[in-house]
Amino acid sequence: MSGQVNSTRLEVEVKFLIQSLPDMRRKLLDIGARQTKPRLFERNWRYDSPWEGLRRAGKLLRLRQDDRAIITFKGPAPEDEGSEARVREELEVVVDDFEQARLILERVGFEAFQVYEKYRETFDHDSVEIVLDELPFGDFIELEGMEADIRQAADALGLDWERRILVNYLGLMMQAQSYYELDFDDLTFENFKGKHYPIGPVLAGEK
């Protein structure tokens, strides 16, 4: 069996920090985007070996629960070189039983190292999947598709391409931990409840 990355299994995406979810939702509707999934709560668990070998290799193993249970693997892709978007190999499978999936991952030696949560609403515009994400430290819009189509959709929405974010939410959490000297790892609404740790100043490099 070949370990070569299949181009059809690539995730090509960018995200942007946004100030107003209602305003961005209106813009999406104005350009003809169609809602394909309503706003859903997501909880994600990052699994790894006890020595965090996946994270050290730039890989991710995730178990997600929203209206389904999904196991996802993400890893580096050679197409990332020279791209202005974030390109990753992505393999996903929907599972019938979340609890059984969790037990299987643990039985083969993986551990749940980190939890992160968000609310997500999903839209489709031409060939681009667009999601509005609400996280404990800020709101984002994420665009996934072919790079040229993503760029076109970003322009239509008035998004500044130079302000695109190529780091995933766990990477942003690491930056927030360092910036605010946070003493917790999980990106959950409970951990941020009653606290003000916005991601904006972190991305802006403000002191």
Domain that holds residue 24: 10-204
Please check whether residue 3 lies inside any domain of the structure: no
30 occurs within a structural domain: yes
Q: Is residue 96 part of a domain?
A: yes
What is the tally of structural domains in the chain?
A: 1
Cβ neighbors of 102 (< 8 A, separation 6 or more) are 45, 63, 112
**CATH of residue 137:** 2.40.320.10
The secondary structure of residue 185, as a DSSP letter, is -
pLDDT digit string, tens, across residues 124-177: 999 999 999 999 999 999 999 999 999 999 999 999 999 999 999 999 999 999
User: Is 109 among the domain residues?
Assistant: yes
Q: Return the structure tokens found at 55.
A: 């994270």
Is 39 a member of any domain?
yes
49-104 pLDDT tens trace: 999 999 999 999 999 999 999 999 999 987 666 789 999 999 999 999 999 999 99
- Show the tokens assigned to 47: 């699994």
- Spatial separation of the C-alpha atoms in residues 59 and 5, rounded to whole Å: 14
In a domain, 5, yes or no: no
Write down how long the chain is.
Answer: 207
Q: pLDDT band at 2, cuts 50/70/90?
A: very low
**Domain annotation covers residue 1:** no
With beta carbons less than 8 A apart as the criterion, state whether 142 and 133 touch: yes
Asked if residue 18 lies in contact with residue 151, where contact means CB atoms within 8 angstroms, the answer is no
Q: pTM higher than 0.85 for the full model?
A: yes
pLDDT at position 81 is 65
